[in-house]
Amino acid sequence: MVATNKKGFGAALWDYLTTVDHKKIAIMYLIAGGFFFIIGGLEALAIRWQLVKPMNDFVSAGFYNELITMHGTTMIFLAAMPLIFAFMNAVVPLQIGARDVAFPFLNSLGFWLFLFGGIMLNVGWFTGGAADAGWTAYAPLSTTSLGEGVDYYVLGLQISGAGTLMGGINFLVTIVNMRAPGMTYMRMPLFTWTAFVASALILFAFPALTVGLFLMMFDRLFGSGFFDPAMGGNAVIWQHLFWIFGHPEVYILALPAFGIFSEIISTFAKKRLFGYTAMVFATVLIGFLGFMVWAHHMFTVGMGPAANSIFAVATMAIAVPTGIKIFNWLFTLWGGSIQINTPMLWALGFIPTFTLGGMTGVMVAAASADFQYHDTYFVVAHFHYVIVGGVVFALFAATHYWWPKMFGTVLDDKLGKITFWLFFTGFHLTFFIQHFLGLMGMPRRYWVYLEGQNLDLGNLISTIGAFLMGVGTIVLLINIIKTSVKNEKVSGDPWDARTLEWAIPSPPPFYNFKQLPLVRGLDPLWIEKTEGRKGMTPAEPLNDIHMPNNSFLPFVISLGLFIAGFGFIYQKHDLSWLIVLFIGMGITLGAMLVRSVKDDIGYHIHKEDLKKEAEE
Amino acid sequence: MKDWMGKIRTLSLFSFLVIILSACGKDNLTALVPKGYGAEQSFNVIIISILVMIVVFVVVMAIYVYVILKFRQRKGQEDQIPKQTEGNKTLEVVWTVIPILLLIIIAVPTIASTYDLADESQKEDSINVNVTGLQFWWNFEYANEEIQTSQELYIPVNERIYLNMMSSDVIHSFWVPSISGKMDVSPENENTMYIEAYEEGVYWGKCTEFCGDSHSLMDFKIVVVSQEEYDQWIDGMQNTDPEYTAETATAQEGQELFENSCISCHAIDASANHPVVGPNLADFSNRTKVSGISDFSKEEIVRWIVDPAEVKPGNGMLDAPYLQENSIGQEEAEKIADFLMELKATDEPVDSVQQFRENEANDN
């Protein structure tokens, strides 16, 4: 069934537009997320170029504000989250021995909502200005921002946020319901565990964002006053709503990153994860505490010493389970046989980097000290250490680690190492010095800094580092092109790995497992291999496999919302745009109706065909 | 190989020294050399937490380096399978309990200083200043003295001053790193903080909450003076004359232009009765900077009047009718500048301000 190679471009495109296969959706997430990562990176380079010297005039103040806003928004919502989703889609069903996710249609819908939301956000660039109120969009700056930039932000995030919420629910149900026989909770690979907890966080965190965005949409488009003090509203409520979403968001990104590193470290140290049980509980605990600490983003808002102290201590508490994780990784390495290739290099680079990020996290958590750090480059340095040093490192690692599983080829190790060293050096050059810049009086989101304030050298070093990271990323792109052109196929288990996804061919057949595997413990494939078997013992006889049909409806539903978004935005200038709003909503609701009334029970792959395929 | 390693080591040591030596920054801006009570409190917690964190980092790095050196796979070991250890209860308890103890070491002084910095018990008996944040400047109203000024907050040395802060548009944040940590200035709740400076001088203030186009240019100063100078300044400000007549001829022409174009937003006397529209210009000749950022010179004043959009994009002055009407050119602006530079509260120049201007001239 490797039909894609024989099809023409149109047919392949149609296949991707309608696919409900989690592995193809994973590839689409990877491409779209990678694309937005590059956009966000270019925005970052423009920011750093503006700050290469004092009082630079490379970009205007207004454009700079759009750059910082879109850099943050793009990197969090359109790059990091989708890339995490790419690997969750590619790997989680395989790791738990499932044939698919629980709701394949919903999975596809989630992707298209994210993509159309992401495009919507960026349309602002071409229609008179992107969002310019910061990625946090604090009221009243956001509610009073002129133009449509913030409207694009509100509607784009709302659409793509709905997609994320669906994705989260889908993974929760998948992990609860679709595990192979014997895959108990305490035998789940750590990446699946972290995907599970991250999905639970999405379930609770994203509704807060949804509510906040609705209120802001009403304020901006329909003249309500939820965040307008003059109309009896409250501007600070936005900050609470935003951070009740925004703080867990950090863990939605970071926990799967921890999962990725747990897999990689254990594979290339050739040891089972040290303290697996503790790792699982630490993951759950971090997820739980992640919800309790949102107000540490607001120490200077004027909440008073009691609230500040409570949130300070609660925040510091997160360091304990995170510390447990760091030491467990170190002791997984201890006594192992450590093989240092590209994915492992990223994992080894991650440990000290993330430790530094975690340490400054505790420092920032100390409320009275935060009065100095808050909204300065110290904080910029801190969260880049966590999000780049944790999440982006993990995404690079995962790209190299799971590339063979997704595409059947291995990325070049030499080029991979060059990418790592360029990016790693560039990263520390960029952000380490920013801790000092912050304490030396450089606030964040500054378009220019004055001459003669001793901030020049630090900013220059920082900019040089940023460009090194850019070069590292280009090397990765070259690597991907080179590998794709060479197209040297590898076996299903090129790393001598431990978990279920490596028990099937690379790339996996569209039905994943011909027969569901029998899981007899943690690292199931490793257990079978140590007992001399080549693959997994099946848990069931060969049977017909039920598969879902492809569908174009998810694309149509998302397209409808995308069109309606323009209607919402421009009706504030001209009511005739309401027509666009109704057309868009009509398309969406119509497509949903079709989905509801049309019976689509999927199809079966017959066991005879499976047998025949095996013989070929 | 050895030689190469040596060079790397020297280079990294050298760059580390450069960072340390330059790490303190500009001494009236940096948070690393505290010159006030709040900054000192924050600094103490910063130091405690850094010390604890260095201990943690050293331990982690020691294990990390040991592990990588000792357990790295060597040639010929590819097929070796290490012992599969499950975990170790004792070790895991150790690295749970020790961090908790370390966090307590940080948490106790944090809570103590957080409460201390929120203490309002002395508010009644202290100088109270009502601070208003606007896009992109600051207004300071001395509550009991019934005067107001803009951009430069005069306070006596070693005295606790309470700031009652509100914004009249979006959220801003008041930060003078050398004197004290920051506090948000919100449009709906009045936030109160106190500051106390240990040394006379001019300290640089920044807005740290993203507030629009010229967020990065919303600078202000705290001018710390002796008690005697402070009393003199207050006295002078209370007696600034709204009916002031300029001395020189050009300044008189400037005053006329000012009264036609500027007076509806800018007052030239410090009386607190003026609504807060544009910065109050009383005592203008003692300003450390023009519009908070440019050197205090006639040239800069003229540049500001003629093209305020170039100096501070998006600021409120861009709505001034004279800009739409093009009624003030270079020549007129120079006359206005002459007039503004005559405005002063006392004949005595303020020591801190003089010193600051000299330092700035040397720095640039």
Does B62 touch chain A if contact means CB atoms closer than 8 Å? no
DSSP A11-70: HHHHHHHH---HHHHHHHHHHHHHHHHHHHHHHHHHHHHHTSSTT--SS-HHHHHHHHHH
Q: Which structure tokens are listed for B318? A: 């861009």
Does B20 touch chain A if contact means CB atoms closer than 8 Å? no
Among the partner-chain residues A276, A309, A444, the one whose CB lies closest to the CB of B87 is A276
Provide the pLDDT for residue B80.
84
- Within a domain: residue B67? no
Mean pLDDT for B62-75 is: 94
Mean pLDDT for A402-408 is: 97
CA A209 to chain B, closest CA, distance in angstroms equals 20
Provide the pLDDT for residue B51.
95
| Cα torsion A445, B53, A391, A102: sign | negative
Check: CB of residue A323 under 8 Å from CB of residue A359: no
pTM: 0.94
Does B211 touch chain A if contact means CB atoms closer than 8 Å? yes
CATH of the domain at B274: 2.60.40.420
- Within a domain: residue B82? no
pLDDT at A381 over 70: yes
Provide the pLDDT for residue B20.
58
- Within a domain: residue B45? no
CA A245-A248-A254 angle, to 5 degrees, is 140
Q: Chains A and B: how many Cβ contacts under 8 Å?
A: 293
> pLDDT tens for residues A280-339?
999 999 999 999 999 999 999 999 999 999 999 999 999 999 999 999 999 999 999 999
CA distance A220 to A151: 7
pLDDT at B334 over 90: yes
Which A positions 114-143 lie with beta carbon below 8 A of chain B? 133-134, 138, 140-141
Range of the structural domain that residue B326 is part of: 127-363
Provide the pLDDT for residue B3.
60
Q: Report the domain count for chain B.
A: 1
Provide the pLDDT for residue A2.
42
CA A96 to chain centre: 21
- Within a domain: residue B232? yes
Strands B127-134 and B161-167, by their bridges, are: parallel
Does A454 touch chain B if contact means CB atoms closer than 8 Å? yes
Provide the pLDDT for residue B16.
61
- Within a domain: residue B69? no
Measured in residues, chain B has a length of 364
Among A2-16, A528-542, B77-91, B209-223, the range of highest mean pLDDT: B209-223
Mean pLDDT for B321-335 is: 92
pLDDT at A44 over 70: yes
- Residues of chain A contacting B181 with CB distance shorter than 8 Å: 300, 368-372, 374
pLDDT at B167 over 70: yes
Which B positions 133-162 lie with beta carbon below 8 A of chain A? none
Band the pLDDT of A480: cuts 50, 70, 90: very high
> pLDDT tens for residues A6-31?
678 899 999 999 999 999 999 999 99
The amino acid that residue A201 corresponds to is: L
Provide the pLDDT for residue A378.
97
- Within a domain: residue B86? no
Strand blocks (E) in chain B:
127-134, 137-142, 147-150, 152-156, 161-167, 172-176, 180-185, 191-195, 201-207, 220-225, 289-290, 294-295
Distances (CA, A) of B143 to A134, A313, B88, B149: 35, 37, 64, 12
A438 or A7: which leads in pLDDT? A438
- Within a domain: residue B349? yes
pLDDT at A376 over 70: yes
Mean pLDDT for A276-282 is: 96
Residue of B nearest to A355 (CA): B57
- Within a domain: residue B150? yes
Mean pLDDT for A183-204 is: 97
Strands B294-295 and B289-290, by their bridges, are: antiparallel
pLDDT at A162 over 90: yes
CA A90 to chain B, closest CA, distance in angstroms equals 28
Check: CB of residue A360 under 8 Å from CB of residue A387: no
A1 or A468: which leads in pLDDT? A468
CA distance A471 to B336: 52
Mean pLDDT for B71-96 is: 89
**Are A450 and B293 an interchain contact pair (Cβ–Cβ within 8 Å)?**
yes
CA B108 to chain A, closest CA, distance in angstroms equals 9
Helices of type H across A269-341: 276-290, 305-317, 319-333
pLDDT at B216 over 60: yes
Q: Who's near B363: CB < 8 A, 6+ residues apart?
A: A452
Provide the pLDDT for residue A4.
47
Between A85-89, A92-96, B348-352, B360-364, the lowest mean confidence (pLDDT) is in: B360-364
